[in-house]
Amino acid sequence: MNAQIQEVLQRMRLVYLANLTQRLDAMGTQVLELKHGDVHADSFENLHRAVHTLKGTAGTYGLQIITEICEPFEDCLKAAHESGMSGGDQLTNCCMHFIDLLREVTSQLVAGEESFTEVEAYLNDIPSSATCSPSAFRRSP
């Protein structure tokens, strides 16, 4: 990689990480809005957009583990939306679970951790999860 680009990425990554917790807090607030049913028509869409954006941006900053967590998170939101579910306990619990995971990983990244074997193993098991996989939100035929 171009050394200049590498240097810029490293510098910018630190700033991005420093602000990430705040973004995750905002995402948590959006989820709580869904839970309480006190929702604007576009709350679900805003949450989906926030996760979709985080997925794309974090990876560009070199934070692939964040992107990897956002993938199943976004898939669950898509599946819930397709099933006509835009609130409720099951969805909000699942969202909070992903946000907690993102928070935990963010703290580890800030602390300089680079290996996320356990989280990756957990993500590999998500398709078989009864509560936090896209299939959990799909309607039975």
Partner 1 sequence: MKVLIADDDKDLCQLLGAVLRSQGHEVFFAFDAAQALIVAKNKSPDVIALDINMPGGTGTGALQKIKMNMKTSMIPVLVISASSYEQNNARMTQMGAAEYMQKPLDADKFCAALYRLTGQPAVGAAAQG
Q: Which of 17, 21, 35, 52 binds partner 1 (CB under 8 A)?
A: 52
How many chain residues interact with partner 1 (CB under 8 A)? 24
SS3 call for 2: coil
Told to check if 22 binds partner 1 by CB under 8 A, we report no
Q: Phi, psi at residue 138, to the nearest 5°? A: -85, 140
Give 120's Cβ-side CA count (13 Å radius): 6
Residue with smaller CB distance to partner 1, 43 or 90: 43
Told to check if 24 binds partner 1 by CB under 8 A, we report no
Contact of 105 with 83, CB cutoff 8 Å: no
- Cα–Cα nearest to 80, from 31, 38, 40: 31
Told to check if 60 binds partner 1 by CB under 8 A, we report yes
Told to check if 41 binds partner 1 by CB under 8 A, we report no
* Interface residue list for partner 1 (CB under 8 A): 1-5, 7-9, 11-12, 16, 19, 49, 52-53, 55-61, 64, 67
